[in-house]
A = this chain, B = another copy of it.
Amino acid sequence: LVLQTDSTSSLSRNGKLREKTLTLDTLNPQVKAVEYAVRGPIVIKAGEIERYLEEGGTKPFSEVIKANIGDAHAMGQKPITFLRQVVALCTFPELMDSPSFPEDAKRRARRILQGCGGHSLGSYSASPGVECIRKDIAAYIEQRDEGVPSDWENVYLTTGASDGIMTILRLLVSGKDSSRTGVMIPIPQYPLYSAAISEMDAVQVNYYLDEDNCWALDINELHRSYQAAKQHCQPRVICIINPGNPTGQVQSKKCIEEVLHFAYEENLFVMSDEVYQDNVYAPDCQFHSFKKVLYEMGPEYFNSVELVSFHSTSKGYTGECGFRGGYMEVINMDPEVKAQMVKLLSVRLCPPLAGQAAMDVIVNPPQPEEHTFKQFHQEKSSVLGALAEKAKLTEKILNAVPGIKCNPVQGAMYAFPRIFIPPKAVEEAKALGMQPDMLYCLRLLEETGICVVPGSGFGQKDGTYHFRMTILPSIEKLKVLLGKVRDFHIGFLKEYSGLE
C-alpha cells in the first residue's frame, strides 16, 4: 500500500497521514473573505513580469510601470529635505554637531528627542504617541481650521492611517454580535474599508457616489442606502473619503454639512478619511475638514457628533509611505470608550517613532522667518504643482480616447476613468471566470507593462467598468503611459467589436 503525500499532509511514524493543522479549509473564513485589490492578483502578476524582465526575458516593453498604488517615492518623487534632516538627526543625534544640518532642523529634532524616553528614538513612546508631537498636531489642526479648538489629548498617533481606521472599526464591530454592525462606505471605495469589514465580519453598506456629477456624494443616496441596510443590520458608522480615493473628487461644504446632519439624525459614528487634505488641485475646489464644518453647524452638533479624522505621512507633498506615520483626531468619544481604546492600542505598544517624527515635521513645517523655509516651500510647491499639472493632463488625454470618460481629478492622486468594454470582451471575461475590467487590466499589463487596478476592486455600479491609476509618474513618463493606454484601448475596442 502506497499512501500519497502532498503539500498538506505527511506520513507520520505510525503510518497514519498527518494533516496540516492550518489549511485553506481550517483557515479563519474571515481572512479568506478579505480582498485587497491595490496589491491583488494583478500586482502579483506585475511582479512576476518584472522578475522575468530582470532575468533577461523579453516582452513588448522594457519595464513595468506600477501605477497601481499611491507610492510617490517609488515613482521617483524626491523626499522633502527638511523632513529627512529632522528624522536623521533624531536617529543619529551625533549629527547635532554637524554644520551641514540647519539649526531649524536641529531645534525640531531636539524637541522631539526631549519627548522620547531616554531621549532616544529607540524607546517605546506612550501608546497614543509622543506628547509634544500630539500637541504639535493639535496646534496644526487649530490653525488649519482657523481657530476651531483641538485638544491634544484627542490626538492619537497611528502606524499609517490604515492602523487608525482598523482600530476605530475594531471598537465598533463585534464579530459575535447578533444584530450585526453595518458600516456605510462609498462606492467606489478604498479597499482597506471592505477588507476590514470582511475581516471583522461586519456588514458592508454601500452608498454610491454620483459619477455623472463628478463623483459627488448625494444625500438622497445616503438615505436610500441607510433605509435599505436597516432591514438586515444595524448601521452604526459612516465612512467618508475626502478628497476621494479612488475617485479624486473634493467635497463641497454643503455636501459635508448634509452628511453630518444625516449622521446626527441617525446617530451614526463618522469616520472621515482626510489623508489627501493637502492634495487639492482644481482651482474651484477647497478642502473643508469635517471637523470645521461640524463646528460651524453650532454647538448642538459640535458637542455631540462622534467624529474621527485620519491623516498620514504617506500622501500630501511628502509621500513618506515607508515611515508608516499617521494620526487620528477623535471628537466627542465617550471617555470610557477612549480609555478602552488606549488599552487596545497599548497591546501593540506604540507606532514607529520615525513615523511619529515625520508626522511632526508635516504639522510643524518651517515658518517664513526660518532659514529653511525657502527650500522647504520650493520643494513642497514643486511636488504639488507637478501633481496639479499631471491631474489636468491625465483627465485631458484620457477624455480624448473614444470609449473612455474621466471625471476631473480635483484632488488625491488617482484618476478613475470609466471604460467601455465591448459585450464580446465581457462575455470572454465571464467565460474565464473573471471580472471584465480584470481582463482589461491584465491585457493592458501584458501588452504594455502598465499596472493599474480594475474598478471592480473598488466597487462600481453594475454594468460599468473602470480602472484606477495613480498620477504619480513624472510628466514625461505619464505622457508615455497615457499614450500607451490610449493605443491599447483603441486596439482592445477594435479587437472585441470585430472591427479588425
Could you tell me which A residues sit within 8 Å of B by CB distance? 7-8, 10-13, 18-24, 26-32, 34-36, 38-40, 47, 69, 71-77, 79, 84-85, 87-88, 91-92, 95, 98, 100, 116-118, 120-127, 159-160, 162-163, 166, 170-176, 192, 195-196, 199, 201, 236-237, 264, 267-269, 300, 303-304, 306, 318-324, 332-337, 340-341, 343-344, 346-355
The count of identical subunits is 2
Asked if A347 and B34 sit within 8 Å, CB to CB, the answer is yes
Asked if A39 and B122 sit within 8 Å, CB to CB, the answer is no
* Sample of 4 further A-B pairs with CB below 8 A, known A73-B123, A88-B88, A160-B348: A22-B333, A176-B201, A324-B350, A352-B354
Asked if A175 and B201 sit within 8 Å, CB to CB, the answer is yes
Selected from B8, B32, B77, the residue in CB contact (under 8 A) with A334 is: B8
Q: What residues of chain B lie closer than 8 Å to A91, measured between beta carbons? A: 84, 87-88, 91, 354
For the complex of A and B, list the 3 residue pairs with the smallest distance between their C-beta atoms, beginning with the closest: A74-B117, A175-B175, A322-B353
Q: Give the CA-CA distance A29 to B175 in the complex, in Å.
A: 9
Q: Taking each of A40, A125, A344, A352, which has the highest tally of chain B beta carbons within 10 Å of its own beta carbon?
A: A352
Q: What residues of chain B lie closer than 8 Å to A162, measured between beta carbons? A: 347-349
Asked if A124 and B347 sit within 8 Å, CB to CB, the answer is no
Take A21-B269, A267-B19, A352-B355 as given contacts and tell me if A303 and B88 are in contact as well, using a CB distance cutoff of 8 Å. no
Q: What residues of chain B lie closer than 8 Å to A333, measured between beta carbons? A: 22
A61 to chain B, nearest CB (A): 19
Q: What residues of chain B lie closer than 8 Å to A118, measured between beta carbons? A: 73-77
Asked if B336 and A171 sit within 8 Å, CB to CB, the answer is no
Q: Taking each of A12, A122, A343, which has the highest tally of chain B beta carbons within 10 Å of its own beta carbon?
A: A122
Q: What residues of chain B lie closer than 8 Å to A95, measured between beta carbons? A: 88, 95
Q: Give the CA-CA distance A402 to B255 in the complex, in Å.
A: 71
Q: Give the CA-CA distance A499 to B3 in the complex, in Å.
A: 73
- A-B pairs with beta carbons under 8 Å apart, 23 shown: A12-B264, A13-B300, A22-B334, A27-B171, A28-B170, A31-B171, A47-B126, A69-B124, A71-B123, A72-B123, A85-B92, A88-B95, A95-B95, A98-B98, A125-B322, A159-B352, A170-B199, A192-B347, A199-B347, A321-B349, A322-B354, A323-B352, A323-B353
Asked if B74 and A124 sit within 8 Å, CB to CB, the answer is yes
Q: Nearest CB to that of A344 among chain B residues?
A: B31
A318 to chain B, nearest CB (A): 8
A202 to chain B, nearest CB (A): 10
Asked if A354 and B18 sit within 8 Å, CB to CB, the answer is no
Q: Give the CA-CA distance A425 to B99 in the complex, in Å.
A: 61
Q: What residues of chain B lie closer than 8 Å to A38, measured between beta carbons? A: 346
Selected from B29, B35, B163, B323, the residue in CB contact (under 8 A) with A174 is: B29
Q: What residues of chain B lie closer than 8 Å to A35, measured between beta carbons? A: 343
Asked if A22 and B171 sit within 8 Å, CB to CB, the answer is yes
Asked if A322 and B27 sit within 8 Å, CB to CB, the answer is no
Q: What residues of chain B lie closer than 8 Å to A18, measured between beta carbons? A: 264, 267, 304
